[in-house]
Structure 1
Amino acid sequence: MISKKIVLTGSHLTPALALKAKLSEHGWQVIGLKISSPKLNRHQPILAALSLIKLPFSFFYACQSLLKIKPQLVVSFGGYAAFPVCIAAKLLNLPLIIHEQTFKAGLTSRLTALMANKVAISWPSSQPFFSKSKTVLTGNPIRRELLDLKPNKLKSLYITGGHQGSKIINENAAKILPQLLKNFTVYHQFGQAQSESAFKKQLQFKHPRYILKRWFSTAELAGILNQAVLVISRSGVNTITELAYLQLPAVLIPLTTAQKNEQITNARFLESLGLAIILPQSQLNPAALLQSIKVALNQLPLKTSLTFDRSLIRSAADNLYQLIELVMHESKKH
C-alpha cells in the first residue's frame, strides 16, 4: 500500500490539529512543517528590506524539506511562517490548499491563494478576498474533544492569554483572585508571557480552587470548558470559534497589535451573538476587569443568541478533508 503523505504548515495550530486527527483516521501520514521565515514589517522599510534578504534562504529550506518528504499535498493554515512552504509547493508542482480562519483575509493568505488549487474559508465574510472559482466554505475546525461537550456549568472561570500568554491579563487577573475565589474555581493558563517562578512569586497567593498552569492539555481544557460559566481571554479567531460553538460567554480583551485589528473584529462577532463583553486593553485594570466579569455573569446568559448555526463548525474537519480528496482527485487528471 502506497503511503499517503500530507504536509500541514502555518501559524494556526488548533485547526491543523483538528484536521490531523481526521486525516489520521483515513490513513494519511501527516507531517507538520514549520520553516523559520522573516515577518515582513510594512511600517518599517529597513526591517522589511532585511526580511526580504532572508526570504530566499527560507524558500531553499522549504524546497529541500518538501523534496525529502515527498508529500502528495500541502495544506497551509496561514501566517508568514507558511509563505515559503507555499511558494515551494508551487515550484514543485504540489497541490496546495489554503485554509483561512479569519473574517478578513491577511496578506499572506491573499498572496498564497494566487498559487493555491483551492482556498478553504471559515466564514462567508472572507470570500470577497479570494477568487470565487477557488473558494470553498468549509468552516473552521475545532478540537474534536470539544465537539460533543455538554457544559454542566460548575461555577468555574477560565483565564487565558492564549498559547503565548499575556502578561497584562495575568497581572490584572492576579489582583482580583481573592474576590473571584469567593464564588468560583479559577483555572488560569498563563502561557509564555513570563516565567512560572516569577509569576508565582509575584502572586504570593495559594488557594485550593486556584489552578495555575503554563498550558493545559487539550483533554484538560475540554474538562475545564465543560464546567466553565465564563472565559476571560484574548480574541484570536480559533478561540472565538470554540466559544461560539460551545455558546460559552466571555470577557474578551483584544490584542491591540493584531494585524488589521483582527482581534477586535473577532470579538465583535462574538459580541453580536450575545456571548461577549469587550474590555479594550487601554481600559484594562483590576477594577474594570472585575466589573466586566460581573456584567458578563449577570447579563450574557440572558442575551445568548439561539440563531447561531453551529453545524458549519461541527462539520468543518469533514468538509476540509473532503476538499483535500477532491483536490487530490483533480490533480491526478493533469
Structure 2
Amino acid sequence: MRLVITGSHPTPAQALMEQLPKDLPAQAGWTVFQLSSATGPKFKRYDWFGSLVGGVRLPGLVWQVKRKLQLIKAELVISFGGFSSVPVVLAAKLLHLPIIIHEQTFGAGLASRLTARVADRIAVSWKSSLKYFPRHKIVLTGNPVRQTILKVRRRPEKVLYFSGGSQGAQIINQTLEPLLPELTKKFMVYHQYGRLPRPAGRKNYVTKSYFSVDELAQIYSRCRLAIGRAGINTVTELAYLKIPAVLVPLPHTQKNEQAINAHYLKKLGLAVVLPQDQLTPASLLGAINQVDRLPQTRRGLGFPRSRVMNAASNLFRLCSSLSVL
C-alpha cells in the first residue's frame, strides 16, 4: 500500500507511521510518502486579499500535486490538517483515491472543513469535534501520541521544561531570561528555543532548538512542570503524562484554539493559564509557584487516557479498512 501523508502537524503523523508493519515483504507492506504543498493557499477571514490570491493559485497547485501523486502511484492519502494539505487532498479526489482527514483540535480547523466534503473518512480526536462534520464519515480515533512518549514513566525531580513549540516563542524566551539566575539555583532547566537565536549558556541550563523524541521523553520523565505554548499535541502529551504546566496560549490563533487547549488542561487540574498580555517575569514566577501547588488528587481526572493510548492503532485500522477500497 502506497500511503501519502500530508499536512502541517507532524507529531500524530509520526505516531501513525510507528504503527505500520515493518516485517512484511515489500509487495505486501506499506510505503509512505510525505507530500505537502509548501506554498499551499491560506484562507483567512481577516485577510480577504490573501484568501483571494490563494483561491486564484489553488488550481495550479492542485495540478502540480496531481502529477506527483500519479508519479508515486499513490493508493491512499491521509491529511493531518493545515493549508499545505489542501492541494494534496483535492488532487487525490481528482484521482479517485481514498482520503482520510485527521482533526487534532477540539473543534475543526479551516483546512479540515474545506477538505471534509471530499474525504471518505474524518478521524476526530475529541467528542467536541463530532458536530462539525458529516456523521456518516466520522470515526472517533483519539489524538495519536508517539510510542516513546506513551512509554514514559514519571519520576519527577527538580527539573523545569520550557518550550515555545517548534517555531519558538520570543516573548517566552525574553521573559525567562531574567529569571534564570534564580531558577537555576533550584532547578535543572531545559529550554527548547525553536528557530530563534540560541540563549546564552549557564550552569544547570540546557538549550536546544529542538529536542528529539527520545530526549523529550527523558525530560518528561523527570520534569516537575512544563512552561510554554498550548498547541494541541503538546497539551495531549502533558495531559496523558499528568505533567503540570504553565501555559501561555499563542494569541490570535483560529477561533482562540490555543486558549481552548490551555483551559482544557486547566479543567483537568494540570495547568495555570497565563495570557500573553499579562506575561512578565514576576507573573511567570508566580504562575510557576502556583502550578506547583495544584492538588495532586485532581490531576488528569476525566482525561480519555485509553483513547489516546490507542489512537495511533485506531487510525492505522482506519487506513487499513480504506486500503481495500
Q: Same fold (TM over 0.5)?
A: yes
Q: How many residues align?
A: 319
Structure 1 stretches of 5 or more lacking a match?
A: none
Cα separation, 2, equivalents of 1:276 and 1:176: 20
Letter of the aligned partner of 2:281 in structure 1?
Answer: P
Per mean C-alpha deviation after superposition, the further-off stretch among 93-102 and 145-154 is: 145-154
Aligned position for 1:14: 11
Please report how far the alpha carbon of residue 325 of structure 1 lies from its aligned counterpart in structure 2 after TM superposition.
1.2
Matched, 1:229 2:224: yes
Match of residue 34 from structure 1: 36
Matched with 1:177 is 180
Kindly provide the amino acid, as one letter, of the partner of residue 277 in structure 1: V
Q: Distance in 2 between matches of 1:300 and 1:183?
A: 21
**For 1:324, what is the secondary structure of its paired residue?**
helix
* Contact 2:270 2:294 (8 Å CA) reproduced: no
Which AA in structure 2 matches 1:206?
R
CA shift for structure 1 position 24? 4.6
Which residue identity lines up with residue 31 of structure 1 in the other structure?
F
Which residue number in structure 1 is paired with residue 63 of structure 2?
60
Q: How does 1:289-328 map to 2 (within 5 A)?
A: 289-328=284-323
CA contact (8 A) 1:24 1:30 kept: no
> Which of 87, 90, 97 is the matching residue for 2:90?
87
Identical aligned pairs, as a percentage? 46
Aligned to 2:254: 259
Could you give the per-residue CA deviations for residues 25-75 of structure 1, whole angstroms, max 9, x where no partner exists?
463111110212121232122222222222222112211111111121000
Mapping for residues 196-235 of structure 1, pairs under 5 Å: 196=198, 199-200=199-200, 205-207=201-203, 209-235=204-230
Contact residue 159 and residue 188 of structure 1 kept, 8 A: yes
The question of whether the paired residues in 2 share the 8 Å contact of 1:249 and 1:300 is answered with no
Range with greater deviation from structure 2 (37-46 or 64-73): 37-46
Separation in 2, partners of 1:237, 1:307: 17
**1:48 matched to which residue of 2?**
51
Deviations 1:229-277 (A, max 9, x none): 1000100010111111111110000000211100011111111100110
Residues 191 and 207 in structure 2, CA contact (< 8 A), matched pair in contact too: yes
Amino acid at match of 1:30: V
1:94 shift after superposition: 0.3
Give the letter aligned to residue 18 of structure 2.
A
1:153-184 CA-partner distances (Å, limit 9, x unpaired): 12111000000100001111111111111211
> Over aligned residue pairs, what C-alpha RMSD do you find?
1.3
Note closer, same or farther for the CA distance 1:24–1:9 as it changes in structure 2 (3 Å cut).
farther
Query: Hey, what's the Cα distance between the residues in 1 that align with 2:189 and 2:129?
Result: 36
- Aligned to 1:114, the other structure's residue is in SS state helix
- AA in 2 matched with 1:252: L
- Distance in 2, matches of 1:184 and 1:19, equals 35
Alpha-carbon distance in structure 2 between the residues aligned to 1:47 and 1:309: 39
CA contact (8 A) 1:59 1:85 kept: yes
Q: Does 1:273 align with 2:268?
A: yes
- TM (normalized to structure 1)? 0.93
Stretches of structure 2 lacking an aligned partner (at least 5 in a row):
none
